[in-house]
């Protein structure tokens, strides 16, 4: 069982949701609209969709969205909103890497796909290739895929920190304090993190693993999966990537 199967519940789940601002989500949506080349009625695949902060507004714009996430609470929230608002959203609680193909829709293909929210670093090379191949297989010819990661080597290693305290404001009540302790394994190209969440005297600890790839390594993986990278951005506004940017957005097209 992978670490992310048991990570997303309790305080970590609350902290993640509270940390996502409306401004950031709006910028994400604008980048998706600008890069993925889709229109009303097109089918979109949202991998690691969370509680639907992208899926819901895109569905309101007329896209038909299938969202997949491991967190059952998030998926239940997304499905509840979609049903209440009568939005064209299918929400699936499962691991995208191992879920049955038919759960994405029998013989269905997607006009575009995306994976945002810094989830694009969970897999070692064999699993990453399988992940990208599954994306490519479900895309129509010429379909686009946008992936976001703060863990590319050119971003995370120049400013690598072994220990950091963060405070996550909560809508009601005191913030969640988060202690991050990182251990970089150079021969594995992986960062193992112990995360300690504290709120109102409650303490919860989780362990996360993020695999580090250079942008060139991503280029090779995408190519092997049948995807061609056509854009590499260093900001959510779509500016070209530069060494040390806090994150990377990779735009690819099915070959």
Q: Spell out the per-residue pLDDT of the chain, length 255, in tens.
A: 889 999 999 999 999 999 999 999 999 999 999 999 999 999 999 999 999 999 999 999 999 999 999 999 999 999 999 999 999 999 999 999 999 887 777 556 999 999 998 889 999 999 999 999 999 999 999 999 999 999 999 999 999 999 999 999 998 889 999 999 999 999 999 999 999 999 999 999 999 999 999 999 999 999 999 999 999 999 999 999 999 999 999 999 998
3-151+213-254 placed in CATH 3.20.20.10:
no
Q: Do the beta carbons of residue 134 and residue 150 sit within 8 Å?
A: no
Residue 92: other Cβ atoms inside 10 A: 17
User: Would you state the pLDDT for residue 189?
Assistant: 97
User: Would you state the pLDDT for residue 102?
Assistant: 79
User: Would you state the pLDDT for residue 166?
Assistant: 94
Q: Which residues contact 224 (CB under 8 A, 6 or more apart)?
A: 129, 132, 133
Dihedral-angle region of residue 113 (phi above 0 means left; psi in -120 to 50 means alpha; beta otherwise): beta
User: Would you state the pLDDT for residue 190?
Assistant: 98
Where exactly are the structural domains of the chain?
A: 3-151+213-254, 155-210
Cα–Cα distance between 73 and 70 in angstroms, integer?
9
**CB environment 210-232: b (16+ within 10 A), e (fewer):** bbbbebeebbebbeebebebeeb
């Amino acid at each position: 069982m992978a670490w992310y199967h048991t990570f997303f519940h309790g305080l970590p789940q609350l902290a993640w949701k509270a940390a996502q601002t409306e401004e950031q989500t709006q910028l994400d949506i604008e980048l998706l609209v600008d890069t993925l080349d889709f229109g009303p009625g097109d089918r979109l695949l949202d991998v690691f969709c969370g509680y639907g902060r992208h899926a819901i507004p895109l569905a309101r714009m007329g896209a038909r969205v299938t969202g997949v996430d491991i967190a059952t609470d998030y998926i239940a929230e997304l499905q509840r909103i979609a049903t209440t608002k009568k939005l064209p959203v299918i929400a699936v609680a499962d691991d995208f890497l191992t879920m049955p193909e038919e759960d994405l829709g029998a013989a269905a293909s997607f006009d575009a796909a995306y994976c945002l929210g810094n989830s694009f670093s969970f897999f070692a090379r064999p699993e990453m290739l399988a992940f990208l191949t599954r994306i490519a297989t479900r895309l129509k010819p010429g379909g686009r895929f946008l992936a976001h990661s703060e863990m590319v080597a050119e971003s995370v290693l120049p400013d690598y920190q072994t220990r950091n305290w963060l405070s996550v404001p909560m809508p009601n009540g005191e913030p969640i304090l988060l202690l991050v302790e990182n251990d970089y394994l150079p021969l594995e190209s992986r960062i193992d993190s112990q995360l300690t969440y504290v709120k109102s005297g409650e303490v919860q600890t989780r362990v996360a693993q993020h695999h580090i790839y250079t942008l060139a390594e991503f280029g090779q993986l995408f190519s092997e999966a049948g995807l061609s990278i056509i854009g590499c951005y260093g900001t959510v506004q779509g500016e070209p990537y530069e060494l040390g940017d806090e994150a990377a957005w990779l735009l690819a097209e099915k070959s």
